[in-house]
Amino acid sequence: MAYFFSEPSRTFSEYLLVPGYSSAECLPDNVSLKTPLVKFNKGEEPAITMNIPLTSAIMQSVSDDKMAVALAKEGGLSFIFGSQTIENQAAMVRRVKTYKAGFVPSDSNVKPTATLNDILKLKEEKGHSTVAVTEDGTKHGKLVGIVTSRDYRVSRMSGEELVQDFMTPLDKLITAPANTSLKVANDIIWDNKLNSLPILDDEGHLLYFVFRKDYHSHKDNPLENLDSHKKYIVGAGINTRDFAERVPALINAGADVLCIDSSEGYSEWQKITLKWIRDNYGDTVKCGAGNVVDAEGFRFLAECGADFIKVGIGGGSICITREQKGIGRGQATALIEVCKARDEYFKETGIYIPVCSDGGIVHDYHFTLALAMGADFLMLGRYFARFDESPTNKVMVGGTFMKEYWGEGSARAKNWQRYDLGGSKKLSFEEGVDSYVPYAGSLKDNLALTLSKVRHTMCNCGAVTIPELQQKAKLTLVSATSIIEGGAHDVVLKEHTRSEH
C-alpha cells in the first residue's frame, strides 16, 4: 500500500511569524543577511558566501549576464541558464567575470539610416536616453555618433528624419581609448561636463560607455559579491546529459559555482553527474543539486556530494508540474522537513549543507518566512523577471507595461534536459507556461524595498542574523479567516496603492 503523509503539505501563506523580544540592538541597520552558499565543515568558513540570501533562477527569461552583474552588485548571485549552447553560456559567464565596473556595454544602438521614430521606440523599450549610432547598428560597431534627448525636439519633427541628420557626429564627440582607467574616464567626464564618455578601440569600434550618473556606483553597492580577484561571483546551470562537455567550458570561463537544473533531483542521473564532477575536479568545483521535497531526497543528494540542495517541486508561478503529473509538495512543508534533515546531517557528520528554497514565494514576507523555516538562501524567478535587468522584452498589454516570463518546462524554452528521465531527447508535454509579469522597474530599487522589509521583520523577531532568526523564530499556522483579517478589510479604500512586492 502507498505511504501516506499524516499532515497536509502547506504553503508559506499558511504561516505567520509571532514577534519575539526586540532588544535595543535590533535595528534594521544592524541586520546582516550574510549566508553560506556551499557546504563547509563545522568550525570552518564556507568557500563561497553571499551578502544577501537571494539567487536568480536558472531560466532563459531570468538569468543572463546582465542580471548576474546587477544581482552580484547587490550581494546576491545569478545562475546563468543552461538551456542554450555550451559556447553561449560560457560566453555569458566570461562577460560577468571580465565585467569592468563603470564600463557599460551599449544597450541601445542604431544605424545612421534609422529614423527619429526608431530612436523614440528604442527609448520606450530600453528606457535609455543615450543611443549609440554605429555603422552596422550593433553595440560594438564602428561609432559614427550618438543621439541624446538634446539632439531632437519631437514637437518640431515629423519622426521620419534620419538619425545621421540630427545626431551628434563623432568629430564633435569626446572619446577615450580602450586602456582608459575608470578614474581617468570620470576625470574626463567631469572636466568636460559630459553625461557620457564613449570608450573606443584602436579601429574606432565602440567598447563601452562611462556615464556620469554611475560615478558613485561603487559607493552605492557596499554588499557587492566579489571573488578574491575583485570580480563578480557568478553561477551557471548544468544538466545531467552533456555535463562532461559543459562543466569544463563553464569552469574555464570562470564560473564560481554550478547547479544541476532539474525538476526532480532524487535520481541516479544526479548521482552520476556529481560523481563525474568529484572524480574529475575533487572538491574544487562547487555544484548544487535538486530539487527535492523530503528528508529522504536531501540525504540522497548529501551523500552524492552536493554542495547545496534545492527544495521545491511545482511551487513556481509558471510551473504546472503538479497540475500535469500530480508530483510535488507544499513549499513550506517541504522546506521545514528538508531543513530538519540538514540539521540532523550536520550533527551526525559535522558537514553543513546549505538549503535553497526554490519556488512558492508570492509576497515579500514569504522571504522572511522561508529563512525562518531554515532556508539558507532563496532562488527566485518571477520576482527577478519583472525588472529591467531580466533578458526578456518589455511589452504593452492592456495599457500596462509587462515583461515576458516563461518556464523552462514550456514549449518556448524547449528545455527537455531539465525534465529528463532517461528517455527520448524531447519535451513530451509542457510542465511550464508562457506568460507575462507586471513590469516593476530597476532591480536595485525593488530589491532595496524587499530587503528592508526582511530586516525589519527580523528585528521584530529579535534577530540580527539569519542563524539567529532560525533559532528564535516562532511560527504559527493561520486559518482561512485570519488570512482575510490580515489584509485591509471592512473599509473602503481610497485608492489601490498596495503591491505584491
pLDDT tens sequence across 72-129: 999 999 999 999 999 999 999 999 998 877 788 898 999 999 999 999 999 888 878 8
pLDDT the model gives residue 452: 98
Is 498 one of the catalytic residues?
A: no
Does 479 score more than 60 pLDDT? yes
Q: Which of 26, 319, 459, 461 is catalytic?
A: 319
pLDDT tens sequence across 211-245: 887 666 556 788 999 998 889 999 999 999 999 99
What is the rounded distance in angstroms from the CA atom of residue 486 to the CA atom of residue 15? 12
Is 455 one of the catalytic residues?
A: no
Percent residues over pLDDT 70 in the chain: 91
pLDDT the model gives residue 500: 47
Whether the CB-CB separation of 11 and 334 falls below 8 Å is answered with: no
- Entry pTM: 0.81
What is the rounded distance in angstroms from the CA atom of residue 365 to the CA atom of residue 367? 5
Q: Residue range 477-493: average pLDDT?
A: 78
Contacts of 111 (CB under 8 A, 6+ apart): 133, 134, 135, 136, 137, 163
In the chain, the amino acid numbered 428 is: S
pLDDT tens sequence across 237-248: 999 999 999 999
* Cis amide linkage into residue 446, ω under 30° from 0: no
Q: Residue range 320-347: average pLDDT?
A: 89
Q: Which of 418, 455, 459, 461 is catalytic?
A: 418
Percent residues over pLDDT 90 in the chain: 76
pLDDT tens sequence across 439-478: 999 999 999 999 999 999 999 999 999 999 999 999 999 9
DSSP codes joined into one string, 114-175: -BHHHHHHHHHHH--S-EEEETTSSTTSBEEEEE-GGG--GGG--S--BHHHHSEEGGGS--
